[in-house]
Structure 1
Amino acid sequence: MAPWALLGLVLAGLAPGLRAAESWGDALGESRVFGYAKAMYVADDKKGGRPNQSTLGVGGKLGLATGEFQGFSLLGAWYATSDLGLRSHDPRRTDAYMFDLDKRPYQLWGEAQLIYRQGEARLTLGRQEILSPLVNSYDYRIIPNLFEAATLSLPAGADTRLTLAYLTRMSGLDGLVSFSEFRSMSQQAYTSLMLDGAGRVDGSHGETLDLSRVVGHRGAWLAGLVHERGDYRLQLWNSFGRDTLNTLYGDGRLRHGLEGGAALVLEAQAYQVRAVGGFRDYLARLGLNADYGLWGLKGSYEHQPWGLRLSLAHNRFGGDGRTVTAYGNWGGYPEFVSMPYLYAEQDKATPIARSRLSRLTLGLDLGPYGLQGHSLLWSFTRIDPDAALLPGGAIRVHGLLWRARLTPELSARLQLEARNSGKSRYDNEFAALSLRYDF
């Protein structure tokens, strides 16, 4: 049965319970305008003789959502980003993610939805933002990742929620072939595999493989179960890309309160990635695989009267020298310790396999000190790739993040980061300042 037909049956099963008396005229009269405006400046001081980058971007989202008629509503949103004519004519001096792949500003009809709601159940059809550990809109510049999908979210018992989705196409900054256009999920899958013109692994000079050239244009299923009550949370997610990759992810969180407004928090996570179908067979012919995992632990101490949070986290990737990784595939970055994009070298399939990552963070909520809505976060991250895959590639990162809610609608964010590595492409100083107004 086709995915759309299956979700249609779910919709038909829910419909008899609705007996709303409103008209579409009333629903249209209840329409509301929403969105955000965002200005962002990114500066990247690169080492090793590489050109520095200085990029200003402005833009945002303008949307319209109707009221509900018999549980149905419509929503649409337009996204745009602009350089105000100030973008450098040298693409190397423009941030890689502010605009499209060709470093030019773009705009698109990013959301167009038919929504059906009954009680706590919700079915969304069309272009939409999606938030999950494995498929995520993740708006780290101005326009986020967006997906053409059918998404069903409904309660599945006490304190438990089930999400089911079928995704056909994606646009956005975590896509392989286009940020500004919706392309198939297989075409937008970003793996570490780089090949030369003869189809040989070439991490230094090859091009990243477009999976649609191997398996055709394929979609992906997403399923998630989240159980959260009080001081603990458990969740399990699976993304299954037809003929591409299957990822199973789970995590848990337990908070234990102490006297005086303090608490200890323990978190654990793990995921397993496997190539499936046509992509698995293709890799086997090259003597490669895409089977690897990750595990992680994170412990935190919180002291609410002081606004203090101290955390220590560790992640470890699995895999071997012939493993192709798909880190951050389709925008999901659930790892406790963030990994910058690393490039494979020579005849290596990935630089990520067997990497070890650790992060120490100190967070301070400035509310108790008279700055309500302001916070600071300092971090130190140590990234140790396997020396056999990326010799001399160890990275040390110092970071500082300031966030502020200036008014109920206006927020500000300043991120400073200094990376040091024996590989010059991972050696730089980075700053990003943004202002966002939500309406």
Structure 2
Amino acid sequence: MLSLNKNFVSNFLLVASITSLNASDTQGIDIGNEWKVLEDIKFGYVNYNYDNAPSLDSPTTNKGHVDSKGFYTIPKFSILTPTYNNFSAKATYTVATDFGLNNPDYENRNWVFNPSDQESFAILQELYINYKDSNHNLTIGRQELETPLIEPDDYYMLANSYEAINYVNTMLCNTELHLGYFHKMAGVWDSGDNGTEFHSMSDTSFVDARDKENANDSGVVFGAIEYKTQNHKIKVWEYYVTDLYNMFLAQYDFTNKMNSFTYNTAIQFTNYKEIGELASNNFTNIDYSIYAIKFDGKYDNGFEFATGASKFSNGKGIGSTLSAWGGFPTYTYGYIFNWFETGSLQNAALLKVELAYDLSKLGLKNSWIGYRHTCYNLDSEHSRTVSGVPQEKMQLNGIRFKYTPTTGVYFTANYEHRSLDNEPDSSAYRLIGGYKF
């Protein structure tokens, strides 16, 4: 981890205010000879109410989750080189700070700093070389790599970043072939280690500490094939984590338009299975599948809807795998609260319904508002409170507003209320915005 220089933050904001005067509709500023500077200054206020104040700190209330809140500033500065003989490079330096304004007692679950020390930090988040031509795309180094089960998860405060090798081949008609290797990751929200630093993929997993040690800093080898036409898309992804577990995803999408109505329907299957050293002991057990389906649609007049359903098999290991490394594959999560609020998703069924409207139809360009209801039908044999009381249902009701232009000022507001059997109701909101060029 790089140490935080307080003067750097103030200088960074000053540079942003000056250079942004020359920003255009296309993200980034050409500083000469095709060198480009990008900046994203993000501000966020988060507030989580679990009916469990830090002064109470009850380990049996809402799984011991404590009321949390805080304001954060995250300036993110990138430099892109010009392309020379199909090669280019990028470096991104990021700072996360609260300027000492937050009450540390209320930062337990804000997931911006390392939870163990709650200190501002800086990190060289990206540093990669890319080669790209008409058929090949190879990236080596620190990058915000997007795949179905390991991804940046950048709808919150700071994206996950990975030390990885990623190769994409497009020589076959309508087909992409993916091959790569994740070596390390950083990202406070989705890391099972200190997310303010880069650690091995095995150490940032959520398995038992003894299994992490047995994995000996192993990474994730992945490969995939994706086939896409105008209406159809099929993708199959395979991830192999030596001496931990295997992840498999298969998905089919169908997209079509009828008059003023565009719709997308998809089915998805994912499987998580322990392998190697992890399979030979009882520290962590992993063997389950998820079956999911969705049907989304939008009308030319601005109205949209999204529906999804998923079913978890009656297998173990969900808590040790599901959100590791940023992968949230199914179609049935809430805006803020998710599976980690329940005792367990083993043998659970989830249903999501969302209604939304594209506000650009009213002249509010790049704006969107939506309401989402998510229902978790839990298996009370597996999902229980810390005190052992069975849980059968969790319901989430949320509202989201987004203003997301390509450059300039952006803003997203999320509010969600959660009710869960035999726990006090909880609610949360996130106000995240900023300026990018």
TM over 0.5: yes
Cα 1:323–1:86 change in 2 (3 A) is closer
Distance 2:275 2:316 in 1: 19
CA deviations on 1:216-240 (whole Å, 9 max, x unpaired) are: 2101112222222222222111111
CA deviations on 1:254-280 (whole Å, 9 max, x unpaired) are: 123223x11343211111111111111
Post-superposition offset of 1:104? 2.1
Aligned to 1:359: 352
Aligned to 1:413: 412
Cα 1:181–1:210 change in 2 (3 A) is farther
Cα 1:317–1:149 change in 2 (3 A) is same
Aligned to 1:319: 314
Distance 2:316 2:199 in 1: 30
Post-superposition offset of 1:161? 1.5
Post-superposition offset of 1:411? 1.3
Letter in 2 for 1:278: E
Aligned to 2:45: 41
Alignment equivalent of 2:327, drawn from 318, 332, 339: 332
Post-superposition offset of 1:405? 3.3
Post-superposition offset of 1:303? 1.4
Post-superposition offset of 1:341? 4.0
Farther-moved stretch of structure 1 (289-298 vs 399-408): 399-408
Secondary structure of the 2:279 match is: helix
Does the 8 A contact of 1:311 with 1:361 survive in 2? yes
User: Are residue 143 (structure 1) and residue 158 (structure 2) matched?
Assistant: yes
Post-superposition offset of 1:209? 3.5
Unaligned runs of 5+ in 2: 1-30, 58-65, 384-389
Post-superposition offset of 1:215? 2.3
Letter in 1 for 2:240: F
Aligned to 1:263: 262
Aligned to 1:289: 285
Aligned to 1:194: none
After superposition, where does 1:105-254 map in structure 2 within 5 Å?
Answer: 105-172=120-187, 173-191=189-207, 209=209, 211-254=211-254
Post-superposition offset of 1:159? 2.1
Post-superposition offset of 1:321? 5.9
Aligned to 2:433: 435
Distance 1:310 1:392 in 2: 29
Percent identity reads 19
Cα 1:75–1:413 change in 2 (3 A) is same
Distance 1:140 1:322 in 2: 26
Post-superposition offset of 1:352? 2.0
Aligned to 1:204: none
Does the 8 A contact of 1:411 with 1:435 survive in 2? yes
Distance 1:210 1:141 in 2: 30
Aligned to 1:20: none
Cα 1:263–1:116 change in 2 (3 A) is closer
Secondary structure of the 2:281 match is: helix
Distance 1:331 1:311 in 2: 22
Does the 8 A contact of 1:98 with 1:141 survive in 2? no
Alignment equivalent of 1:368, drawn from 357, 361, 367: 361
Post-superposition offset of 1:112? 1.1
Count of matched residue pairs: 385
Aligned to 1:199: none
Letter in 1 for 2:225: L
Post-superposition offset of 1:95? 3.8
Aligned to 2:114: 100
Does the 8 A contact of 1:168 with 1:219 survive in 2? yes
Distance 1:256 1:405 in 2: 25
Letter in 1 for 2:209: L
Distance 1:322 1:182 in 2: 25
Secondary structure of the 1:214 match is: helix
Post-superposition offset of 1:187? 0.6
* TM-score computed with the length of structure 2 as normaliser: 0.82
